[in-house]
């Protein structure tokens, strides 16, 4: 009995081409069905399966093997490329950079980091800040907040980082629906908001958008966000570039944060030297 069951699949493979709805067909009928013509050469009905043997074999293989988790694996979606880390070795060479924080800091350790480089008709910006909310750069005709075109990267409650376009009205930022950003990327990791995007160099003249081929003061800011909406920046006086920035001039500018500005002041250095001398020499 067992040997008969083992021979059943091969017998089915041999008998299947000659069976139609439980009736054994003649060779002539089978030939007509394959060619799609009747006895007198008239067009006949074309079967759904042109090659019954190969169809049955494939169906038998799939039902026997693939349903058991064997055979070839099904195709999977291609992997998503991770966010490429910001390279600081290119600063001052192939892109311009601004760093704010501890001396020698990079894009992962500075309080604030910005890079820019021109790529054809676009400017690529990279921003990063030590915050769980937002990081932004503003383009200003002066060094004061107000009437500025602003690009910001905001970390929302779903863990995503989105690029937004703002316009400074006095001391608060109004979001603008028209967003010139393209090729947007963003990540929130190690309590840092980091993003990368492109923006056209030339744009139609509009109050809320500036042409980046002109030089502007760059305003740097970052701070917390509530439900994807930005709030007041972390420090009362955010850093500003001390000169107008040209996208065609790649420089690497370091700006010490408040904690390091005190000790970098010439007067403070002189005072420290005087106190050290006094302590070493002692009083007469």
CB of 198 within 8 A of CB of 212? no
Would residue 280 count as lying in a domain? no
Give me 83's structure tokens.
Answer: 């966010």
User: What's residue 184's pLDDT?
Assistant: 95
Would residue 236 count as lying in a domain? yes
Quick one: average pLDDT of 126-142? Answer: 96
Q: Answer yes or no: do 47 and 138 share one domain.
A: no
Q: Helix, strand, coil proportions of the chain in percent (round to 5)?
A: 25, 35, 45
Question: Among residues 106, 138, 127, 255, which one has the least CA distance to residue 193?
Answer: 127
Could you give the CA distance from residue 227 to residue 216 in angstroms, rounded to a whole number?
A: 31
Would residue 277 count as lying in a domain? no
User: What's residue 225's pLDDT?
Assistant: 86
Q: Answer yes or no: do 100 and 63 share one domain.
A: no
Q: Answer yes or no: do 232 and 122 share one domain.
A: yes
Quick one: DSSP state of residue 38? -
For the stretch 170-203, pLDDT in tens is 878 899 988 999 999 999 999 999 999 999 999 8
Tell me how far CA of residue 9 lies from CA of 50, 57, 195, 245, in angstroms: 21, 10, 60, 78
Which CATH number do you get for residue 198?
A: 2.60.40
Would residue 82 count as lying in a domain? no
Q: Answer yes or no: do 62 and 108 share one domain.
A: no
Q: Which residue has the tokens 């030297």?
A: 273
Q: Which residue has the tokens 């950079």?
A: 97
Q: Answer yes or no: do 191 and 106 share one domain.
A: yes
Average pLDDT of the chain, as a whole number: 76
For the stretch 64-95, pLDDT in tens is 444 444 444 444 544 455 889 999 999 999 99
Would residue 153 count as lying in a domain? yes
> Where does 95-179 have alpha helices with state H?
none
Q: Answer yes or no: do 166 and 223 share one domain.
A: yes
User: What's residue 233's pLDDT?
Assistant: 73
Q: Answer yes or no: do 102 and 34 share one domain.
A: no
Query: pTM surpassing 0.75?
Result: no
Q: Answer yes or no: do 204 and 144 share one domain.
A: yes
pLDDT beyond 70 at 208: yes
Q: Answer yes or no: do 134 and 8 share one domain.
A: no
Q: Answer yes or no: do 33 and 107 share one domain.
A: no
Q: Answer yes or no: do 45 and 104 share one domain.
A: no
Quick one: average pLDDT of 199-221? Answer: 92
User: How many domains are there within the chain?
Assistant: 2
Residues 6+ away with beta carbon under 8 Å from 108: 85, 86, 128, 190, 192
Would residue 77 count as lying in a domain? no
Within the chain, what is the greatest distance between any pair of CA atoms? 133
| Domain interval for residue 41 | 2-68
Would residue 284 count as lying in a domain? no
Q: Answer yes or no: do 19 and 128 share one domain.
A: no
Would residue 177 count as lying in a domain? yes
For the stretch 14-62, pLDDT in tens is 444 444 444 444 444 444 444 444 444 444 444 444 444 444 445 444 4
Give me 267's structure tokens.
Answer: 């007067």
């Amino acid at each position: 009995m067992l040997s008969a069951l083992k021979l059943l699949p091969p017998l089915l493979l041999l008998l299947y081409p000659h069976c139609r709805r439980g009736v054994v067909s003649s060779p002539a009928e089978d030939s007509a069905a394959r060619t799609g013509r009747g006895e007198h050469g008239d067009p006949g009905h074309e079967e759904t399966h042109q090659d019954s043997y190969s169809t049955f074999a494939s169906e038998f293989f799939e039902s026997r093997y693939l349903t058991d988790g064997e055979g070839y694996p099904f195709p999977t979606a291609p992997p998503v490329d991770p966010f490429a880390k910001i390279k600081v070795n290119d600063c001052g060479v192939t892109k311009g950079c601004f760093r704010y924080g501890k001396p020698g800091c990079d894009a992962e350790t500075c309080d604030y980091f910005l890079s820019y480089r021109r790529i054809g008709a676009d400017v690529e910006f990279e921003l990063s800040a030590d915050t769980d909310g937002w990081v932004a750069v503003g383009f200003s005709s002066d060094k004061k907040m107000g009437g500025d075109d602003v690009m910001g990267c905001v970390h929302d409650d779903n863990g995503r980082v989105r690029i937004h376009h703002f316009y400074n009205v006095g001391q608060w930022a109004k979001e603008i629906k028209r967003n010139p950003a393209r090729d947007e990327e963003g990540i929130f990791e190690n309590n840092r908001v980091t993003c990368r995007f492109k923006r056209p160099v030339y744009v139609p003249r509009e109050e809320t958008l500036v042409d980046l081929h002109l030089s502007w003061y760059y305003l740097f800011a970052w701070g917390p966000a509530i439900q994807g909406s930005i709030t007041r920046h972390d420090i009362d006086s955010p850093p500003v570039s001390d000169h107008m920035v040209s996208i065609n001039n790649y420089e690497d500018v370091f700006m010490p944060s408040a904690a390091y500005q005190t000790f970098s002041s010439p007067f403070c250095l002189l005072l420290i030297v005087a106190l050290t001398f006094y302590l070493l020499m002692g009083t007469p």
